[in-house]
């Protein structure tokens, strides 16, 4: 073993080290929240590259979001595994489909539809229907579920009785809309995101030359968040693999929160049956949260299928999870804003605080209450950092300046570029302007954090790599986020709001299966907190009274 390779292993705990050294054959990693799974799989890949077992050009690491793929790519780059590709399922599939289409079909691949709602709006109009935007989004979700479940429209029609009803639509109308939507896309020579996986899977099945090219390109696969794999993604993964078995999958059944979209943890839990020679590893040492938070998370998931028993590795803390009960949603928002204001007065940075909620509709009152306290806010998922017009302009100026000889200190150059797009040293008063200021300031903070001696050329290259990977810098603002969007993230101080029956768990979760999905969502929310977890709910809604969420008591939190 080379010194470099040994250094990679030294950064891992004993369980992570075992995983890093299991380089060949099928490997399953059951990794609980906060146990360092990303560290384990990136070091495993880097160790494989350093020891010569992996050719980096033949390794594909797959995950579910561009942000997660960007983080994987960044960590692999830091570990010296530059040639390894980290992509989403859709990103990898789209690149392959675009490559193979001219060879095996002819001409350019069909145009990718940016979203379904506009096309669905035209579809329902052609049928003489008028539907709300919410109903159109529900139809889009049904189309996505049907396709990732690998059901034809005819097969879907046979199962329609077991699917959630769509407001104001008969089963016949639901089928008519899906058939007309499919025809509209064919006429326009367009495909949606799920079609990318469907078409590529079909091509790899019927074109041996295409599957041979993929298998020549990629030999070693790692799939993160494997509990979120859909039947369609699982099929594509098997087509990529062929008869080979160099596959490492990583996941946590307790964090399966996309069942409504076709995801299932069954592929993770039965991996050993599908691959009889697979080695299974467990990561249960939680390094993220203080012991009281870990204990509550364990209680919430006790005896649930596939649940791991987390062991807290941090020192004991007096900071136990707390629950606050309010009369109205507005009262709760004000109470949370006041608590955050107090925390900031005690020295907690705004960027170390998050407020998590069950549905996006809950964010409006929170934004209003936080603004009243003068607290800067960023709504996670509302607009990607690098899509902001002001950020794009700043990066273009910095890239332009990198082409000019400039020996001034990096901080001075970057601050001058930011002033050219309206940044000031003093933060503005208005909430919207403050968010813009925080975004630009985060670029300056990134420049300040660069290694000593970094010039404008090096900083421009770092910004470009981050932009391509969607690796966002840290903004000095409180994060507001739906729980679904917060998976994979963490903060020292987390508020989980709306913990009332009918809100979290949500009112339409009636079956035992639906309630268990809500429980897993609560588990994800609670385990985002490192040092402090503050829960809250409210009693009155729509002239009725709600009790506190069952998940609060089940986590052992007293109120």
Query: Chunked in runs of 10, what are the mean pLDDT values of the chain (559 residues)?
Result: 79 96 96 96 96 96 89 90 93 95 92 92 92 88 95 94 86 94 95 96 96 95 96 97 95 94 93 95 97 97 94 92 94 96 96 94 89 88 73 90 87 90 78 72 86 90 79 82 93 97 90 94 98 95 79 91
- What is the three-class DSSP state of 244? coil
Q: Say whether 32 counts as a known binding-site residue.
A: yes
Element (H, E) at 221: strand 220-223
Taking Cα atoms as reference points, which of 192, 260, 204, 248 lies closest to residue 223?
248
Q: Say whether 88 counts as a known binding-site residue.
A: no
Name the phi and psi angles at 33, rounded to 5. -60, 135
The span from the CA of 310 to the CA of 297, in Å, is 8
Which ranges of 346-492 would DSSP assign to H, the alpha helix? Answer: 363-372, 389-401, 410-419, 431-448, 456-469, 483-486
Tokens representing residue 279 in the block: 């080695």
Taking Cα atoms as reference points, which of 65, 43, 62 lies closest to residue 54?
43
Q: Say whether 116 counts as a known binding-site residue.
A: no
Tokens representing residue 352 in the block: 């170390």
CB 32, CB 306: distance < 8 Å: no
65 class by beta-carbon count within 10 Å (0-12 exposed, 13-18 middle, 19+ buried) = middle
Q: pTM of the prediction?
A: 0.84
The span from the CA of 159 to the CA of 299, in Å, is 36
According to the model, what pLDDT value does residue 479 have? 94
Q: Length of the chain in residues, anyone?
A: 559
CB 12, CB 43: distance < 8 Å: yes
All structural domains of the chain: 3-93+197-283 (3.40.50.300), 115-176 (no CATH), 292-382+477-554 (3.40.50.300), 385-469 (no CATH)
Query: Residue-wise over 94-105: b if at least 16 C-beta within 10 A, else e?
Result: bebbeebbeeee
Q: Say whether 38 counts as a known binding-site residue.
A: yes
Q: Say whether 48 counts as a known binding-site residue.
A: no
Q: Say whether 31 counts as a known binding-site residue.
A: yes
According to the model, what pLDDT value does residue 475 have? 76
Q: Say whether 6 counts as a known binding-site residue.
A: no
Q: For residue 306, how many other CB atoms are within 10 A of its CB?
A: 17
């Amino acid at each position: 073993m080379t010194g470099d390779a040994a250094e990679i292993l030294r950064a891992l705990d004993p369980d992570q080290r075992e995983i890093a050294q299991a380089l060949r054959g099928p490997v399953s990693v059951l990794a609980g929240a906060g146990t360092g799974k990303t560290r384990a799989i990136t070091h495993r890949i880097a160790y494989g590259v350093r020891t010569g077992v992996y050719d980096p050009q033949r390794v594909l690491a797959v995950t579910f979001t561009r942000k997660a793929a960007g983080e994987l790519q960044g960590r692999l780059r830091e570990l010296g595994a530059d040639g390894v590709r980290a992509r989403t399922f859709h990103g990898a599939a789209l690149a392959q489909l675009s490559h193979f289409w001219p060879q095996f079909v002819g001409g350019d691949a069909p145009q990718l539809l940016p979203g379904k709602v506009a096309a669905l709006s035209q579809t329902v109009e052609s049928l003489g229907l008028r539907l709300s935007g919410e109903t159109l989004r529900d139809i889009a979700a049904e189309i996505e579920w049907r396709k990732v479940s690998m059901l034809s429209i005819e097969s879907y029609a046979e199962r329609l009785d077991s699917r959630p009803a769509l407001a104001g639509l008969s089963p016949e109308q639901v089928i008519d809309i899906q058939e007309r939507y499919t025809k509209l896309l064919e006429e326009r020579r367009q495909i949606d995101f799920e079609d990318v996986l469907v078409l590529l899977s079909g091509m790899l099945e019927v074109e041996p030359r295409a599957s041979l090219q993929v298998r020549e390109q990629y030999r070693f696969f790692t799939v993160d968040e494997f509990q979120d794999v859909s039947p369609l993604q699982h099929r594509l993964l098997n087509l990529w693999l062929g008869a080979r078995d160099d596959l490492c999958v990583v996941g946590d059944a307790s964090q399966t929160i996309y069942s409504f979209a076709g995801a299932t943890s069954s592929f993770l839990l039965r991996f050993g049956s599908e691959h009889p020679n697979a080695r299974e590893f467990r990561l249960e040492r939680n390094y993220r949260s203080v012991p009281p938070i870990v204990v509550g998370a364990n209680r919430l998931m006790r005896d649930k299928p596939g649940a791991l028993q987390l062991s807290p590795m941090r020192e004991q803390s007096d900071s136990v999870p707390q629950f606050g009960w309010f009369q109205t949603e507005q009262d709760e928002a004000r109470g949370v804003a006041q608590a955050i204001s107090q925390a900031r007065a005690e020295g907690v940075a705004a960027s170390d605080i998050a407020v998590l909620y069950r549905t996006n509709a809950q964010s409006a009152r929170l934004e209003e209450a936080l603004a009243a306290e003068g607290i800067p806010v960023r709504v996670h998922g509302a607009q990607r950092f690098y899509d902001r017009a002001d950020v794009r302009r700043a990066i273009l100026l910095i890239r332009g300046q990198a082409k000019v000889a400039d020996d001034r200190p990096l901080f001075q150059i970057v601050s001058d570029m930011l002033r050219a797009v309206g940044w000031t040293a003093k933060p503005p008063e208005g909430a919207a302007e403050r968010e813009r200021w925080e975004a630009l300031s985060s670029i300056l903070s990134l420049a300040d954090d660069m290694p000593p001696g970094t010039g404008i050329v090096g900083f421009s290259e770092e910004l470009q790599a981050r932009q391509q990977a969607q690796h966002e810098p840290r903004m000095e603002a409180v994060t507001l986020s739906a729980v679904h969007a917060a998976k994979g993230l963490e903060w020292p101080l987390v508020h989980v709001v709306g913990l009332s029956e009918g809100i979290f768990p949500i009112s339409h979760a009636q079956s035992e299966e639906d309630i268990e999905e809500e429980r897993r969502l609560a588990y994800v929310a609670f385990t985002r907190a490192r040092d402090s977890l503050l829960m809250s709910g409210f009693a009155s809604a729509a002239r009725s009274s709600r009790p506190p969420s069952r998940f609060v008591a089940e986590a052992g939190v007293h109120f």
